[in-house]
A and B are shown apart, each in its own frame.
Chain A
Amino acid sequence: MLRRQKLLDKEVLDSLRSIVINFDIDNAEEKAKEAIQKGVDPLEAAKVLTDAIREVGDKFGKGELFLPDLVCAAEVLKKAIPIITDEMQKQGKTSQSIGKVVIGTVYGDIHSIGKGMVATLLYASGFEVIDLGVNVKAEEFLNAVKEHKPNILALSALLTTTAMEQKNVIEGLKKENLRNKVKVLVGGSPITQEFADSIGADGYGATAPDGVKVAKRLLGIE
């Protein structure tokens, strides 16, 4: 009986992995529900899903997969993970992340692609990610830092004219006595290491994969 359940679990978990690596957004919810109905441990289901997106992220980093693949794999997780985490809560189980990140594109800037890539790759690397979206005001970032108590606040800006908004957020953190409670990671087309240093950021990522490396370094993770 136990052997049969294990085989069934493997089949369901393989199917979960498959929806991620095949970017099967349409069947994501159904497969996640099926896994729960068939009695798969939600922690194992979550691990399979995150391992799969990490695999996609690694292949993206190596240039074997492309942006639409990464985005679609992330969409699969967006649909499947809430179903799995609901079940985890019901069973009183929790999963571990390597750190928590609040991320968003600063006020005045509606560019989302770069920010979305970083968010997905951070998630794929094991971070818990709270994505505030685009055109996020400084006070919204500050409120999110107070509410979620992240390890890292990641700020994106694609326009020269909005880059200074990253500084406004950092100044806001100082005023609210939050600056030493969170590491600030900045990125975006007009941002340079010099600019990041000048506004008092803790880290700068030139590319999305680079942003993940810097995030890990900031938390002392290899």
Chain B
Amino acid sequence: MQRGFKRNFEPLKVLTNSQVEQIHAASLNVLEEVGFKYESAKALKLLEDHGCEIDYDRMIAKIPPSLVEWAILQTPSSFYLKARDPEKSVRFGGNSVYFFNSAGARYVDIDTGIVSTPTLEQNNLGVLVSDALDSVHAFPSYTPYFEIEGVQPVMSCAVSCAQRHRFSSKPSRGAQPTYTYIWETMIAQACNAQIMGCVEGAAPLSLAEDPCNAAFHYLEAGFPIYIASGSVMGGSHPITIAGASVSHNAELLAIIVLLQCIKQGAGVIANNFVSAMNMSTGDLNFGTAATSLHQMAFNQIWHSYYKIPITNTGSAFSNAKIIDYQLGAEKLPLAMCSALSGANLIVLHGGVTAELAYNPILAIIDDDVANTIGRIVEGINVNDDTIGLDTIKEVGSTGTFLSTKQTRTYWKTEDYMPKVFDKTTYKEWIDSGKKTVIDKAKQRYEEIIATHKPKPLTEEQDKEIDKILKEAEEFYKKKGLI
């Protein structure tokens, strides 16, 4: 199993206990008085059986607070996700901190910032690189690219899932639109793996038919579920962080209620992807203080109060178009705050140009970022050996610690040594032709694609995936979607 990182100190809190309770109480009030829209008769009937008041015409369920509290209690504080390679499985929850690969609609040229639709080969190389990076622990759906040249849009999730299983043995998350959950479930099962199901709400306060169907399907397969309700403050959620926290909380709790009614004890990880809005364009404003504060409040409520595993997407993207200072300044503070405030899974590697683009070179740079964050959350090991009182006395006021046994023992674990950040002296930097972090990442990229061999699928598994993709294609053709 992949260990990830362990946060060895209390998570950072941005709310008082009474503020947490106030947000929770308001969330319950919204679900009880306004209700939540589930666009599925099957889901509504199930919720009615569990005591919800249903308006079938409007597809609204008013959820009693007791049912919400019950659902929170049924949701485990951690769950295991089985990868096709058991060594790559993960356990989300508790004090663990893992990193998710990020994604982009298209491939971005690192030097020019120009985006284009990636080829299947570029997609596969992107997966292979992340398979090689030890700080990428799992993949979301349609990762690394939303679109692949020559692949029909309706097939993109299924093809992306297939290629992730072919070029990586790390676990994946599924998707929900247009029956794609059928094929993603089949692909994972063909590889003797689990996939993390996906049930994403549509703010404000609704869950479309596809995610409702996906919930039943993924849970029937015995898979844990990733839930989300992405939104933008001032648009689909209130502009205030407190108000947006209530709306978002209510939405995720409504999804948790449905999941626990379908399968009591189902493993769930709740995502936060609530962004600030660019008030000039209506686009998402990444890397802002409000986005980070919303995530931290969410982490505190869900980690410490509900004790349900959590993931944060806020640091996945930047509005920067190229790898520059803005990109680092927008992504790193959010990722750091996520890790410090209790996130179990942080989406980070490779995303640039808002959600528009991805590049594996950036994923390689983000590998150093993730490992640095991971080292920070591991905290400080305090014992007789690490204090080393004898060593301090021995060196006294005249010696050096460089040659001590303590240094030899601990220098590699006390700090993280970045692989591509420039740590040369000024002269070395001049002599090297002024190599930048991007140059060094490109070099590491070449090394990875020349040497890294992902654990292969068996021939039968590979053939089975081909069969599933053909079946999916026929299915969509019959539906007139291809």
Contact = CB atoms under 8 A, between A and B. Distances in A.
A161 B234 contact: no
B279 interface: yes
A208 B281 CA distance: 8
B279 A66 contact: yes
17 contacts: A66-B279, A67-B234, A67-B281, A110-B202, A110-B206, A113-B232, A113-B235, A113-B277, A159-B177, A160-B105, A161-B153, A161-B177, A164-B153, A164-B154, A189-B283, A189-B355, A189-B356
A117 B278 CA distance: 13
Interface residues of B, number: 25
A113 B281 CA distance: 9
Nearest to B209: A108
B123 interface: no
A161 B279 contact: no
B153 A114 contact: no
Contacts, number: 48
B234 A68 contact: yes
Interface in A58-96: 60, 63, 66-68
A164 B234 CA distance: 28
B178 interface: yes
A133 interface: no
A67 B282 CA distance: 7
A208 B282 CA distance: 10
Interface string B268-305: 00000000011111110000000000000000000000
Contacts of B156: 160-161
B184 interface: no
Given A67-B280, A160-B146, A164-B481, 15 more contacts: A60-B280, A67-B279, A108-B177, A110-B206, A113-B235, A113-B277, A160-B105, A160-B153, A160-B156, A161-B177, A189-B283, A189-B356, A190-B105, A190-B147, A208-B282
Nearest to A60: B280
Contact of B277 (A67, A110, A160): A67
Nearest to A115: B282
Contacts of A60: 280
A163 B208 CA distance: 18
Contacts of A160: 105, 142, 146-147, 153, 156
A207 interface: yes
Given A113-B232, A160-B156, A164-B154, A63 B282 contact: no
Interface string A141-181: 00000000000000000011101100000000000000000
Nearest to A160: B146
A149 to B, nearest CB: 28
Nearest to A164: B153
Interface in A178-219: 189-190, 207-208
The interface residues of chain A, by DSSP majority, are classed as: helix
A163 B153 contact: yes
A117 to B, nearest CB: 6
Contacts of B234: 67-68
Nearest to B202: A110
Interface string B202-217: 1000101000000000
From A113, A114, A160, residue with most partner B Cβ within 10 Å: A160
A161 B154 CA distance: 7
A159 B234 CA distance: 20
B178 A68 contact: no
A113 B235 CA distance: 7
A113 B279 CA distance: 11
Interface in B344-364: 355-356
A160 to B, nearest CB: 5
Contacts of B481: 164
B282 A68 contact: no
Contacts of A63: 280
Nearest to B180: A161
B202 A114 contact: no
Top 4 nearest A-B pairs (CB, nearest first) are A66-B279, A113-B282, A67-B279, A161-B177
From A63, A161, A190, residue with most partner B Cβ within 10 Å: A161
A163 B177 CA distance: 13
B229 to A, nearest CB: 12
B154 A68 contact: no
A117 B282 contact: yes
A210 B280 CA distance: 14
A60 B278 CA distance: 13
Interface string A112-135: 011001000000000000000000
A17 B438 CA distance: 54
B281 A207 contact: yes
A79 B234 CA distance: 21
Contacts of B280: 60, 63, 66-67
Interface string B115-159: 000000000000000000000000000100011000001101000
B82 to A, nearest CB: 28
A208 B280 CA distance: 10
A160 B156 CA distance: 10
Contacts of B146: 160, 190
Given A68-B234, A160-B146, A160-B156, A114 B279 contact: no
Contacts of B278: 67
B105 A68 contact: no
Contacts of A108: 177
A114 B232 CA distance: 13
Contacts of A113: 232, 235, 277, 282
A14 to B, nearest CB: 28
Contacts of A68: 234, 279
A181 to B, nearest CB: 24
